[in-house]
Structure 1
């Protein structure tokens, strides 16, 4: 079997843990809300604790991957994340849990950045987004089914609680580390470029330092376009702040869904992630990163204006019309989050190997700096403005318009990179 196929399989198995790392709070928060009395301001506190650490670790991950290798950093990220998950069950209050969560999130970023960097460098040029979708789709499905299933079983086994999810997550992170150690390799393109630089055989004009990357004409257009749009549209990007940070609060406090119903919805809609990510990845490879981003960003911007206003049109509570409407809105919104598949590949395709991981890491740094500002700001404003759902809707409309305008500008300038051979 060709190595890139084995790599995709391993990343698919290992990314199961990354998906759970990022999505677990959607199930944990409903479970701890009645225990620790969690509200929007408390969720904002979590962002204020985790994001500064993630900003530092995001850049450190990119720099370290360019310096010592992609695989090593990826393994360390998974291992430490697993240990932090297991230790988090010792938390006695929300603040203690936030501290463990900060460590977990910081090292999850190492694992996630390693995945996207290795996929960009080892995948065939015409399949980069599609294979990234494959590597992240099936684990997303399994993660949703398993964690949603665990929460749903709480109705039968009352002893199941938030700590059950954290143990499950921690064990899988450690398994992923062992699997990666046995199968993955350092990308040859990185190793060869490292050797050329070390031996002084790389021509001077082909050596590119990071500060030059940011401003050199041949790179800056596509690179900065992908950088900026990635921090707007995408999973855990600024456009998605109301959904990722306050979606759980909204479903419990406003829509009046209980934890069991949320778990059942998660299980029933798990297949959506598989469909969405594969569709978006395939589309980005076929029509281009920019056109795919424009299409799905437009759909997401429109649907958010309906999503937050569902209580105006339908009675709240676990009734079928509201559940169906919420599922449909979430499904359509999910396409924008999945455009990460295209933006990550566009960033990787825009820049040379010796600074690729660092250049890709800067996207995470910029994203988290903005999240550090906007995530708590939205939470604190939501605590003051009534109803907060109007704030969420306006926020996403504004960011959606900004993101779509940038994509249109990039299309006009011809910044598309799909299928480009890596330097």
Structure 2
């Protein structure tokens, strides 16, 4: 009898189709992260307009989210997932050749949309295939490998930009993205239930459609979860796209080399965190890990706000910068684990289309709100806003939402 057990957490299949691509994609993306704020500043715009670079990235992800989820139910996970890296390569390569700020926004929009195709597709495949007691580890270890890929990317990208030109990191990012999709092409199989079993008279196919999904989405538990998801996105303020770098550039006049080194140090502290949180979420439950993570992040950004209110030494800013990045690592990917637990087996792509669209809507407006507050009320108030949103996540998880994986 054939062995039908799912692959182990460190199987060859997961290494080549999940962990290695995540590492390469993150390496390329992190190389351009410290360069984008500097390239944006070269257009001679203020911090509120500069934040639109991160809004454009999130807007691209937002526009792609709904059709991506629907198409993954309609035509399958695999074609949508593999299209993401190819579009990312094109968008990244063209970014440094932008002649106007609006061209730059367009290519960041393309990269954001493409990245969402890969990210949403890969998470959906995990939801289809991973055992429930292994799901958090697969998703969080993907985050961990992403952070591993980000370790040297900022320093290398900053060095290449400073020494050879701003366009070099973007070209390398495009090349790494193409490399990432090569092993995934053969290893990733179709996992959509409706595509694996083509019997149109089956009960599974008959259950496909928007009606059951909408009915499920308006239950109290899912509505509460979506509200908490939005607060989580607001609390991050576009940090995952590098919005915190804007503060370093505009308040401390840091260049790409300094930003690259600073990001590398912060990522080094954060690498072990997702591996630990994935294990703990599978063992003790999601809420037991997510709530403390957002609480620690809330404290960190509150401490960062002091650098804007008082003339504190550079050493304090550097320490709090690393602390914010490290605690943000405890929140990265955790809400996706929670949402995947809530996703139904059938119509999962449609559920993702609605859920992730709402999440991306929060991610889209969050950097703009952060930049607007920073421009008109100061960075200190903007950091406190992020902290209050994170506290809202903690309260929502602790007081309202039930756990999806209690300790057994």
Q: TM-score range by the shorter chain?
A: 0.7 to 0.9
2:326 match: 331
1:240 match: 236
Decide whether the 8 Å contact of 2:161 with 2:168 is kept in 1. Answer: no
2:203 match: 202
Identify if the C-alpha distance between structure 1 residues 151 and 173 changes in structure 2 by more than 3 Å, giving closer, same or farther: same
Provide the C-alpha distance between the structure 2 equivalents of 1:105 and 1:367, rounded to a whole number of angstroms.
14
Unaligned runs of 5+ in 2: none
Query: Cα offset for 1:94?
Result: 2.6
Query: Cα offset for 1:95?
Result: 2.1
Provide the C-alpha distance between the structure 1 equivalents of 2:160 and 2:30, rounded to a whole number of angstroms.
18
Provide the C-alpha distance between the structure 2 equivalents of 1:391 and 1:53, rounded to a whole number of angstroms.
28
Decide whether the 8 Å contact of 2:344 with 2:351 is kept in 1. Answer: no
In the TM superposition, what are the counterparts of 1:249-260 in structure 2 within 5 Å? Answer: 249-260=246-257
Decide whether the 8 Å contact of 1:347 with 1:359 is kept in 2. Answer: no
Identify if the C-alpha distance between structure 1 residues 279 and 221 changes in structure 2 by more than 3 Å, giving closer, same or farther: farther
Aligned match for 2:180, one of 166, 176, 181: 176
Aligned match for 2:359, one of 334, 357, 367: 367
TM-score by length of 2: 0.87
Provide the C-alpha distance between the structure 1 equivalents of 2:351 and 2:53, rounded to a whole number of angstroms.
27
Q: Aligned pair count?
A: 400
Decide whether the 8 Å contact of 1:221 with 1:415 is kept in 2. Answer: no
2:381 match: 391
Other structure's SS at 1:265 match: helix
Aligned match for 2:125, one of 114, 118, 129: 118
Identify if the C-alpha distance between structure 1 residues 367 and 266 changes in structure 2 by more than 3 Å, giving closer, same or farther: same
Unaligned runs of 5+ in 1: none
Query: Cα offset for 1:368?
Result: 2.5
Provide the C-alpha distance between the structure 1 equivalents of 2:250 and 2:60, rounded to a whole number of angstroms.
29
Query: Cα offset for 1:247?
Result: 0.7
Indicate whether 1:356 and 2:355 are aligned: no
Aligned match for 1:103, one of 110, 125, 131: 110
Provide the C-alpha distance between the structure 2 equivalents of 1:21 and 1:209, rounded to a whole number of angstroms.
38
Provide the C-alpha distance between the structure 1 equivalents of 2:61 and 2:37, rounded to a whole number of angstroms.
24
My pick for the range that moved more, 390-399 or 45-54, is: 45-54
Indicate whether 1:272 and 2:272 are aligned: no
Decide whether the 8 Å contact of 1:129 with 1:345 is kept in 2. Answer: yes
Residue deviations 1:316-368, cap 9 Å, x none?
54xx45423421233123322x2x23x22332232333311221232221122
Provide the C-alpha distance between the structure 2 equivalents of 1:103 and 1:167, rounded to a whole number of angstroms.
15
Provide the C-alpha distance between the structure 1 equivalents of 2:161 and 2:242, rounded to a whole number of angstroms.
24
Indicate whether 1:133 and 2:140 are aligned: yes
Aligned match for 2:14, one of 8, 11, 25: 8
Query: Cα offset for 1:310?
Result: 2.7
- The RMSD of aligned alpha carbons is 3.0
Indicate whether 1:347 and 2:339 are aligned: yes
Query: Cα offset for 1:110?
Result: 0.4
Identify if the C-alpha distance between structure 1 residues 315 and 255 changes in structure 2 by more than 3 Å, giving closer, same or farther: farther
